[in-house]
């Protein structure tokens, strides 16, 4: 289910990115695709063709930080530090291959930071609600 959701959101974000011409919205969508690209890599799924190169590059850099579990470091995507040691599966999550893959954290932890100064537009461009299917 998570794999399908991530793939669908990534594909719809790419479709919307290619459809719109507003530069500010394109930049927001590029960041969304970057976060989804990190999740896609954590799910061990290939990235779709046609992703903007900046999203691919930042997504790969961020994924390496997540995999490294190295403590506090500046994010390749967000303008603040994240504690990458928090991405390490712990407790009951280690008893399952599926739960131990770091599926959710690349998407969840940065979203909690919205209240601390990120643009609300970044949280409002949600694929599937855009009218494009």
Q: What is the pLDDT of residue 122?
A: 52
Q: What is the pLDDT of residue 1?
A: 77
Q: Which of 33, 1, 2 is nearest to 103 (CA)?
A: 2
Q: What is the rounded (10 degree) CA torsion for 52, 126, 24, 65?
A: -50
Q: Mean pLDDT over all residues of the chain?
A: 77
Whether pLDDT at 38 is above 70: yes
Whether pLDDT at 51 is above 70: yes
Question: What does 44-93 look like in DSSP terms, one character per residue?
Answer: T-PPPTT--HHHHHHHHHHHHHHHHT-SEEE-SSSSSEEEGGGGS--GGG
Query: Whole-model pTM?
Result: 0.73
* pLDDT, tens digit (0-9, with 9 covering 90-100), for 54-105: 999 999 999 999 888 778 999 898 888 888 888 777 776 666 665 555 444 4
């Amino acid at each position: 289910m998570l794999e399908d959701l991530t793939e669908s959101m990534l594909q719809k974000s790419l479709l919307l990115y290619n459809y719109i011409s507003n530069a500010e919205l394109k930049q927001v969508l590029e960041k969304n695709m970057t976060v989804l690209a990190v999740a896609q890599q954590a799910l061990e799924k290939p990235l779709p063709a046609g992703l903007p190169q900046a999203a691919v590059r930042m997504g790969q850099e961020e994924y390496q930080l997540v995999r490294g579990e190295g403590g506090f470091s500046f994010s390749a995507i967000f303008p603040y530090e994240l504690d990458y040691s928090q991405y390490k599966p712990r407790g009951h999550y280690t008893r399952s291959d599926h739960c131990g893959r770091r599926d959710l954290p690349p998407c969840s932890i940065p979203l909690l930071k919205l209240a601390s100064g990120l643009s609300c537009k970044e949280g409002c461009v949600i694929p599937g609600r855009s009218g494009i299917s």
